[in-house]
Amino acid sequence: MMTTIWRYDRSGTAIRCEDEVTEERALTIYVNGTLAVHLASSGELVDEAAVGHAVSEGWARPTQILAVNVEERSAFLTISPDAPGPDAPTSIDIDCISGDALTEDIAISPGFTVSASRLQDLAEEMQRSALHWRTTGGVHAALIAQGEHVFNCEDISRHTALDKVIGHALMHAWNVREAVLMGTGRIPAQAVAQAARVGIPVLASRSATTAQAIALAERAGITVVAFVRAGRMNVYSHPERVVP
């Protein structure tokens, strides 16, 4: 879908323009009437996703899938009684399965601002410090900055990487209401919820964001900044916090 953004360069010059963002959806699969799994999905080809997941997880062979019915974001599989079927219900990739990731009524107070050049500097520092991310590409990096305090870490999960830097800031009594939270992974709605619950006003990434994350950030009062790299960035919500 299309949304209005503010595209900044390193000098702090901003251009208001339209940009296309990905939508995130939760896909729920039921097997013989019982909840089996929640999956992250972009929302298309629901029946194909359900059949592919069922067979690849060993729940049933293709010939044991008797019917597939789709209702909005849910797929209902009917499988043969002699098929193994799923174990207990699970969630896959909980970083982004929920468009309603924040049920609390939270609104971050205005007032804190950060310069476009500071965000670029933090992105470069995060990249320099992320040794395993640079050498393997198999992990995510995260950074939190408040005033002169900066802390970096890495983890196989983008969600856990953010948890780690948030935890460090809280354990060291940083004023997180004047902090920037940054990562290398996509910014889904769940990441916005993480920042909102802690009170962090600016959430940034060198990667993309989603329509659901932007909508949640608008409601929670969080500035979402994506594609922070190569001297440019896109601001998707509450642009008043990013200054020259």
CATH number at residue 189: 3.40.140.10
My answer on whether 54 and 156 are in the same domain is no
The pLDDT, as a whole number, for residue 156 is 84
Greater confidence (63 vs 11) lies with 63
The pLDDT, as a whole number, for residue 190 is 86
My answer on whether 164 and 126 are in the same domain is yes
In-domain check, residue 166: yes
Q: Where residue 49 falls among pLDDT bands split at 50, 70, 90?
A: confident
CATH assignment at residue 78? 3.10.20.10
Cα separation, 240 vs 194, in Å, equals 21
My answer on whether 179 and 73 are in the same domain is no
Q: Which helix (H) or strand (E) holds 135?
A: helix 131-136
User: Which of the listed residues 48, 65, 91 is the one where a domain comes to its end?
Assistant: 91
Cα separation, 166 vs 128, in Å, equals 20
**Residue 96: is its pLDDT beyond 60?**
no
My answer on whether 172 and 115 are in the same domain is yes
In-domain check, residue 66: yes
My answer on whether 190 and 114 are in the same domain is yes
Can you list the positions of beta strands (E) in 61-209? Answer: 65-71, 74-79, 90-91, 114-115, 140-146, 149-155, 180-183, 202-205
User: Which of the listed residues 62, 91, 120 is the one where a domain comes to its end?
Assistant: 91
My answer on whether 121 and 217 are in the same domain is yes
Q: What's the predicted TM-score (pTM) here? A: 0.80
**Cβ-based neighbour number of residue 70 at 10 Å:** 14
My answer on whether 77 and 161 are in the same domain is no
In-domain check, residue 64: yes
The pLDDT, as a whole number, for residue 97 is 45
Q: Where residue 177 falls among pLDDT bands split at 50, 70, 90?
A: very high
- Count of domains forming the chain: 2
My answer on whether 52 and 80 are in the same domain is yes
In-domain check, residue 96: no
My answer on whether 106 and 37 are in the same domain is no
The pLDDT, as a whole number, for residue 92 is 60
My answer on whether 231 and 135 are in the same domain is yes
Report whether 4 contacts 218 (CB < 8 A): no
Question: Which residue range(s) make up the domain with 137?
Answer: 2-22+101-243
**Cβ-based neighbour number of residue 147 at 10 Å:** 9
**Cβ-based neighbour number of residue 45 at 10 Å:** 13
My answer on whether 171 and 213 are in the same domain is yes
The two tokens of residue 66 are 């008797």
My answer on whether 197 and 106 are in the same domain is yes
